Every structure is written in C-alpha cells, then in structure tokens.
Amino acid sequence: MADAARARAAIASVTMEAELDALQGLLPRRHRIVLTAVARHDESASRAIGCEDTAAAEMGSVSKGLTGMLFADALARGEVRLDTRLGDLLDLGEAPAAAVTLGALAAHRSGLPRLGQPVDGPSLLARTWAMWRRGENPYGEDLAGLLEQARAATLGKQRFEYSNLGFSLLGHAVAAGIGQPYGDALRERVLTPLGMTGAYVAGDESELSAQALRGVSKRGLPHQAWVGEGVAPAGGIRATAADLEALVGALARVGTAEAGIVPGGLPVDPLDAPPGAAPWVGALVPHEAVRRRAMPGTRIGYAWMTSAARGRHVTWHNGQTGGFAAFVGVDRAASVAVGIVSACASGIDHQGFVMLEKLRDGVN
C-alpha cells in the first residue's frame, strides 16, 4: 500500500510539473521573472522563474482578495457586521466617510473615490506623474495619513466604483474590530491558516525582506517598491512562490455547495460556501452584480469577482503595481486554480483564464 501511494504521488508530481511547463509556455517573453502556481484537487505545485525560490513579489490588488478573506473571518466571529460603519472603528470624526458601511466597502459601492487625495506633500497628479516618469512609489502613507485622506474624501453615488482608498480603509477597520494591527490580524487569521508563511506587508522600504524582488513597468522602467502601512490591505502584500501555491491549493479545495432546495423553497446557489467550509470562504461567494467595467455577468463577493468564462464560473482577482502584475483564479466546480505574479507590470489575466481551461482538461 505504501509503495502504491508513493507511486501515485510521483505520478501526480510529474503531472503538476507538466502543468507548470504549460503555464510558463503561455507567458509572453517580457515576463522573465515570474512566480507561478497551479492546483488540481489535492495536488499543487509552484515554480519561481528567473529568481530564487524564496523571492517575494508584490501581489498588488490580489491583496484585496486576502483582505476580503479577513473580513469574512471577522464577520463569522461576530467581531464586525456588514452594516458596521467606518466611523465605529476608525477615527473619522464627522467626515462623510464615517457613515460608509463595511459591506459597501467590500463590494466597491461605498461612493469613495478610487484614490485618496494626499493632504500633505505632492498632489495625486504629481505622484502619478513621478510614478510613470521615474518609477516612484505613489503611496507610502501610514495609517494616520490614510485617515487624513478619508476625512477629506467626498462621497459619490452608491454604485460599483473600484476603490483602493475604500479597501485600504476596510482592511484597517476590520483589523480594529479584531483588536490588532492589519498585518498581525492578516497573518493570524488568513496567511498562517492558509500556509502562506512567507507572505507579509511592509510599512516602508526598511521592512522589505532581503528576497524582495524589484519590478519593472511594461516598457522596462525599474519601479520602487509599493510600500506603505496605509495601502497594505488594498495592494501591499508580498508573497513567495510557495505562498502562491498555498493560496491556490486552498482555493482548489473549496468546492461548491450542494445544489437543491432549502426549507422555504429557496434554491441553493452552488457558489455558496459548502457546509463546513472555513470562514474565509465567505469572501468568494458572489453577492451582487457588477454592471460597470467588468466582464459580462460578473458578480462580486468580498473583493473576489466571479465571472462566466466559456460556460464556467471562475472566481478571481487580479492586480498591478508599478512593477508587478498578478492573477489568481479558481474554478470551484472543477477544483482547479492558478496563480501568477510577474515582476513586469503587463497584464496576465488572459494567460490565467487559459491556464484554468488547461487544468480542467489536462495537458497530457
């Protein structure tokens, strides 16, 4: 029996390595330094291309997906509620943002702008110009600076509008509800349980690990690291290839709920959390439609998007910083998942969706 188990494990390992080869073959030449990971059912594998295995890369807005998982965990424990207001947890005084609920933030319908206007130092326009021309980090605020931006922000219509400011505030508000700084709460509630033991957030450059990769823009301009306590929940998490594998492995094992009818005659959506699922799985469950700037039929959970792709439901999040691009996606019904983080800020979503199809069909 032991010999048979070892043989099956060896075959699975060879198969997953072949899947990694297929994923690497999909990537355009500009993606020379890349972390990749694939998972099918209980099998997974990862690869660091063009760098050391311990290298850590910026996950960009995939960080929002992890913050959504933290939110789902805190909801399940009763530490926060969907209707909890930002002002109940963060010092926002009488600012309009104080009335925004955590549920609205998690679905990007808070009315907050995409970015906060800096209260001190260079303007948002000047920061953006410095990023494009010289590769400078446009963020860098600590939590106090983020709260200043929130107090100065005006609210727009309560409809879907992707907001880095909103998700930054969500992460820090949830952490306040838990009673810990964001980085500590994320590590304890999400990263460690998932096995992402090498992932971390950095408040400034001094907190970067020696293995932190430096990325480049699509045209090859080197970029500073995107660090800052304030922006961490929206785009400041770094991870290794092993961390990426732990994440996609966990996603591939989530599965779907049993279809049917519950008492009262209500149908069960197979994309609901399956019975016995970990609390963070609630972040993946789509709650409402996204009708603007999204793939047709897209619905959103807590950051995570679920879209129809060639007759399948794919739950995913992407990300891009000045020097990195990222994609993480899962087909829960097929129990397959893929993760890509490149040290070149050129989109890789298409390759991620294609690889999910290959994982479903097999490459051998």
Percentage of the chain with pLDDT > 70? 93
Distance CA 232, CA 201 (A): 6
Q: What does the chain come to in residues?
A: 364
Q: Looking at residues 243-259, what average pLDDT do you find?
A: 93
Distance CA 124, CA 350 (A): 30
- pLDDT band (50, 70, 90) for residue 318: very high
- pLDDT band (50, 70, 90) for residue 35: very high
Distance CA 61, CA 236 (A): 8
- pLDDT band (50, 70, 90) for residue 1: low
The predicted structure's pLDDT at residue 364: 41
Q: Which CATH number describes the domain made up of 61-197?
A: 3.40.710.10
- Parallel, antiparallel, or unpaired for β 305-309 and 260-262? unpaired
Q: Among positive and negative, which fits the CA dihedral 46, 50, 55, 59?
A: negative
Q: Looking at residues 71-89, what average pLDDT do you find?
A: 98
- Greater confidence, 360 or 7? 360
Give per-residue pLDDT as tens, 160-186.
Answer: 889 999 999 999 999 999 999 999 999
Distance CA 89, CA 8 (A): 51
Q: Give the chain as a 3 state SS string.
A: CHHHHHHHHHHHHHHHHHHHHHHHHHCCCCCCCEEEEEEECCEEEEEEECCCCCCEEECCCHHHHHHHHHHHHHHHCCCCCCCCEHHHHCCCCCCHHHHCEHHHHHCCCCCCCCCCCCCCCCCHHHHHHHHHHHCCCCCCCCHHHHHHHHHHCCCCCCCCCCCHHHHHHHHHHHHHHHCCCHHHHHHHHHHHHHCCCCCEECCCHHHCCCCECCCEECCCCECCCCCCCCCHHHHCEEECHHHHHHHHHHHHCCCCCCCEEECCCEEECCCCCCCCCCHHHHHHCCCEECCCCCCCCCEECCCCEEEEECCEEEEEEEEECCCCEEEEEEECCCCEEEEEEECEECCCHHHHHHHHHHHHHCCC
Lookup result for tokens 């309560």: 158
Is 70 exceeded by the pLDDT of residue 7? Answer: no
The predicted structure's pLDDT at residue 264: 64
Is 70 exceeded by the pLDDT of residue 30? Answer: yes
- pLDDT band (50, 70, 90) for residue 159: confident
Q: Among positive and negative, which fits the CA dihedral 51, 36, 17, 210?
A: positive
Per the prediction, the chain carries an average pLDDT of 92
**Where in the chain are the domains?**
61-197
Distance CA 291, CA 311 (A): 19
Closest CA to 322 of 163, 142, 171, 128: 128
- Greater confidence, 68 or 138? 68
The predicted structure's pLDDT at residue 265: 60
Q: Looking at residues 216-224, what average pLDDT do you find?
A: 94
Is 90 exceeded by the pLDDT of residue 261? Answer: no
- pLDDT band (50, 70, 90) for residue 5: very low
Is 90 exceeded by the pLDDT of residue 188? Answer: yes
- pLDDT band (50, 70, 90) for residue 307: very high
The predicted structure's pLDDT at residue 128: 87
- pLDDT band (50, 70, 90) for residue 118: confident
- Greater confidence, 176 or 308? 176
Is 60 exceeded by the pLDDT of residue 248? Answer: yes
Distance CA 295, CA 301 (A): 15
Is 70 exceeded by the pLDDT of residue 10? Answer: no
The predicted structure's pLDDT at residue 342: 98
- pLDDT band (50, 70, 90) for residue 124: confident
Is 60 exceeded by the pLDDT of residue 363? Answer: no
